[in-house]
């Protein structure tokens, strides 16, 4: 089924999130971004630090209110929910954080951490204990872990506790913000596999935020590439890797190490640092680092255009480069 025929679960419509950082100065963390996530779909969001991907994720679950634009969840604008709708929304959307060391309260036992949401939504006593035990088993832990404290666990186990906590209220949409970045590579794959299996079983939609493109490829149905607050390319995971059309995506992909010693790979170096989001370059924001830059790129901002079915690119010369 093409995305046109499916029902979106979350719609991001022309969202901006600016932070006021001084007199007449705004940090444009998210700058007119639109996309949607369908039920059961995983969308990966990638880009360098400071590109706005985490801010975007936070706007989608109302940890931040957008400066302008709308986020629609299941047909409703999330900034205009009634008290009852807000309660339901908080149950249906969850977040898994980057740092499994900082995101768990060190004074609470695992039973208290995982059961916190259940208690807030009226489940307590034996029922809550049974549910916590079930959740721990789902994420590969067991009931003996219930009475322990976070410091008694490894990073991977802590992230499993964070996942159990996020799943407690049977969410439909989960934002994973660099959920595996702080873990060892061997543990990363275990956690990504766990998230993938759970997503398939529970028909969860994920926004999977990461700066690691290879991890994102493995778990995502579609990938959005962000640069200085904008999505510059959005396509299916396969298309993005087989046929990138934006110079920034090309550079990110070329930097992925390969394990094949015979693979001939041209490295497209990314020159310079990402410019300040407080004073982004005029025209195409990527022009200061783009080896294909032409005069027009310095003055005219490229629109995000659908150049192939469900493949969107914001570059004046994408057809030629692609
Ligand atoms: Fe490069 Fe110009 Fe395309 Fe921007 S619009 S990515 S500067 S070629």
State the Cα–Cα distance between residues 94 and 9, nearest whole angstrom.
14
Cα 223 to Cα 207, 214, 235: the distances in Å are 10, 11, 6
Interacting residues of 262 by C-beta distance below 8 A, sequence separation 6+: none
**Which residues, in sequence order, are bridge partners of residue 208?**
44, 176
Q: Buried (b) or exposed (e) across 80-110, using 16+ Cβ within 10 A? A: ebeeeeeeebbbbbbbbbbbbeebbeeeebb
Number of helices followed by number of strands (H, E) in the chain: 10, 12
Q: Which atom of ligand 1 is nearest to the CA of 284?
A: 4
Q: Tens of pLDDT along 202-245?
A: 999 999 999 888 889 989 999 999 999 999 999 999 999 999 99
Q: How far is the CA of 288 from the centre of ligand 1 (A)?
A: 9
Global confidence as pTM: 0.90
The per-residue pLDDT for 310 is 94
The per-residue pLDDT for 57 is 96
Interacting residues of 5 by C-beta distance below 8 A, sequence separation 6+: none
Q: How far is the CA of 131 from the centre of ligand 1 (A)?
A: 52
Q: Which of 180, 182, 231, 277 is nearest to 240 (CA)?
A: 231
Q: Digits of tens for pLDDT over the chain (322 positions)?
A: 555 557 899 999 999 999 998 887 889 999 999 999 999 999 999 999 889 999 999 999 999 999 999 999 999 999 999 999 999 999 999 999 887 778 889 999 999 999 998 988 888 788 889 999 999 999 989 999 999 999 999 988 998 999 999 999 889 999 999 888 877 888 888 889 989 999 999 999 999 999 888 889 989 999 999 999 999 999 999 999 999 999 999 999 987 776 666 666 666 677 778 898 899 999 999 999 999 999 999 999 999 999 999 999 999 999 987 6
Cα 63 to Cα 17, 56, 170: the distances in Å are 12, 10, 19
Q: Is the CB of 198 under 6 A from ligand 1?
A: no
Contact 134, 125 (CB under 8 A): no
Q: Which atom of ligand 1 is nearest to the CA of 246?
A: 6
| Pure H helices in the chain | 53-60, 83-92, 110-120, 125-138, 155-167, 185-202, 213-219, 237-242, 247-254, 318-321
Helical pair 110-120 and 155-167, crossing angle rounded to 10 deg: 20
Contact 104, 161 (CB under 8 A): yes
The per-residue pLDDT for 265 is 63
State the Cα–Cα distance between residues 70 and 55, nearest whole angstrom.
14
Q: How far is the CA of 251 from the centre of ligand 1 (A)?
A: 12
Q: Is the CB of 290 under 6 A from ligand 1?
A: yes
State the Cα–Cα distance between residues 105 and 150, nearest whole angstrom.
7
Question: Ligand 1: which of 291, 292, 301 to mutate, most ligand atoms within 8 Å of CB?
Answer: 292
Contact 29, 229 (CB under 8 A): yes
Q: Which atom of ligand 1 is nearest to the CA of 285?
A: 4
Q: How far is the CA of 227 from the centre of ligand 1 (A)?
A: 12
Q: Is the CB of 18 under 6 A from ligand 1?
A: no
The per-residue pLDDT for 32 is 96
Q: Is the CB of 302 under 6 A from ligand 1?
A: yes
Q: Is the CB of 315 under 6 A from ligand 1?
A: yes
Q: Is the CB of 283 under 6 A from ligand 1?
A: no
Question: Ligand 1: which of 271, 287, 303, 322 to mutate, most ligand atoms within 8 Å of CB?
Answer: 287
Q: How far is the CA of 300 from the centre of ligand 1 (A)?
A: 10
Q: Is the CB of 292 under 6 A from ligand 1?
A: yes
Length of the chain: 322
Q: How far is the CA of 315 from the centre of ligand 1 (A)?
A: 5
């Amino acid at each position: 089924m093409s995305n046109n025929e499916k029902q979106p679960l979350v719609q991001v419509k022309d969202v901006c999130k600016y932070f006021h950082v001084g007199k007449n100065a705004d940090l444009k963390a998210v700058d007119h971004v639109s996309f949607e996530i369908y039920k059961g779909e995983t969308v990966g969001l990638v880009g360098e630090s400071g590109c706005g991907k985490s801010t975007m994720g936070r706007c989608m679950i109302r940890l931040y209110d957008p400066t302008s634009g709308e986020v629609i969840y299941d047909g409703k604008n999330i900034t205009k929910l009634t008290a009852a709708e807000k309660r339901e929304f908080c149950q249906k959307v969850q977040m898994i954080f980057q740092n499994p060391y900082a995101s768990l309260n060190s004074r609470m036992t695992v039973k208290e951490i995982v059961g916190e949401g259940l208690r807030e939504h009226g489940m307590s006593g034996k029922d809550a204990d049974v549910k916590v035990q079930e959740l721990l088993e789902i994420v590969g832990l067991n009931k003996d872990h219930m009475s322990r404290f976070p410091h008694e666990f490894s990073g991977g186990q802590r992230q499993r506790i964070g996942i159990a906590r996020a799943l407690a209220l049977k969410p439909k949409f989960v934002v994973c913000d660099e959920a595996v970045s702080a873990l060892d590579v061997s543990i990363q794959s275990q956690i990504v596999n766990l998230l993938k299996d759970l997503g398939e079983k529970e028909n969860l939609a994920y926004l999977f935020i990461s700066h690691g493109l290879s991890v994102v490829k493995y778990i995502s149905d579609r990938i959005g590439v962000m640069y200085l607050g904008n999505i510059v390319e959005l396509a299916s995971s396969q298309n993005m890797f087989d046929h990138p059309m934006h110079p920034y995506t090309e550079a990110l992909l070329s930097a992925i190490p390969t394990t094949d010693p015979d693979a001939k790979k041209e490295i497209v170096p990314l020159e310079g640092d990402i410019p300040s989001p407080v004073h982004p370059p005029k025209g195409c924001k990527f022009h200061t680092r783009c080896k294909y830059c032409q005069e027009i790129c310095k003055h005219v901002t490229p629109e995000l255009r659908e150049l192939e079915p469900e493949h969107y690119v914001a570059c004046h010369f994408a057809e030629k480069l692609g």
